Chain A
Amino acid sequence: MTCGMPFKVLLVEGSAVLRQVICRILQMPGLPETSCLVAENSEAAEPLLSAHAVDLIILDTNALASEPGSLLQHAGRTQKLPTPPCIVISADATAIRVQQMFDLGATAYLPKPFAPAALRFEIERSLRAAPISN
């Protein structure tokens, strides 16, 4: 992020209700200023990743339209190094899925249900450590 520019967040979430909830969390007081790109699924997210440098990806595994790794691999190809952090949220808390997503490049994994404060904490932690995108 350059001085005065908001962090750019890519939210990949299939549920319209959760998109509203997460966008509201991103606007919580005390968090760095963000602008949010929104995609309903990973297919819709790929062109956004190609067109924009993002500081953080928030990805719901229910929004994965293809192989779980393809979106994160796409981020690896299109984003400047180091690739942006990725918070994965999921209704699936099995050890296999958690390990799979970390292996693919997730930097945090929040099983649902999560308290808004838990996601807020991960967003703040991720943005404080995010590479400069602009």
Chain B
Amino acid sequence: MLPPSLTEIGEALDQSIQHTLEIMCFAEAAPAPAGHAEPSMRARVAFRSSLAGFLELAITPTAARTLAAALLGLPAGEPPCKDDVDGTICELSTVICGRFLSLFDPSSSLQLESPRLGVHASTAPGLRLSFKLDDGDLIASVHLD
């Protein structure tokens, strides 16, 4: 089997991000040109299937709070607590990673590690996609071993 191209990985990741944010948080993620400032909230999920590596999500705190409020169905004006914001970003990272890999290679077995918050941005080479949300930015990157 030929190794996947970055284009194929990028398409599966893009689809997974847009679908996950729409279904879980009723949010639209519009592809954006790279070059935005790096958002400060970051979560990482390591995975192993036919591919091995990790997925990283970086998101601006305002956008993270909006996504958490939407996921939890909070009334307008009621902000989510920090634990709920952190939990939302961890859950989104896991779901996006799982969906991306399940789409990409549905016949492989898949292992997902627990998400880690607050990691430093990886300097390893990888695929990077940028999105504009209603009130912030989201950058997803995949780094393969």
- CB contacts under 8 Å to B, within A44-73, are 62
For A84-124 the 0/1 string (1 means CB < 8 A from B) is 00000011111111000000000000011111000000000
Query: A21 with B99: in contact, given A15-B87, A113-B23 (CB under 8 Å)?
Result: no
**What total of A-B pairs shows CB separation below 8 Å?**
75
Query: A97 with B91: in contact, given A112-B99, A113-B23 (CB under 8 Å)?
Result: no
**Please, which residues of chain B bring their CB within 8 A of the CB of A15?**
87, 90-91
* B107-A112 in contact (CB<8A): no
- Give A11 Cβ to nearest chain B Cβ, in Å: 15
- What band does the interface of chain A fall in when counting residues whose beta carbon is under 8 Å from B? 20 to 34
Say which residue of A18, A20, A92 sits within 8 Å of B98 (CB atoms). A92
Assembly CA distance A18 to B73 (angstroms): 12
- Give B83 Cβ to nearest chain A Cβ, in Å: 7
Say which residue of B72, B88, B94, B106 sits within 8 Å of A91 (CB atoms). B94
Could you give 25 example pairs across A and B, Cβ below 8 Å?
A: A15-B87, A16-B84, A17-B68, A20-B72, A21-B73, A24-B73, A62-B94, A62-B114, A91-B97, A91-B99, A92-B98, A93-B98, A93-B102, A93-B106, A94-B49, A94-B107, A94-B108, A95-B107, A96-B110, A97-B109, A111-B102, A112-B24, A112-B94, A113-B19, A114-B23
On A, residues with C-beta under 8 Å from B are 15-18, 20-21, 24, 62, 90-97, 111-115
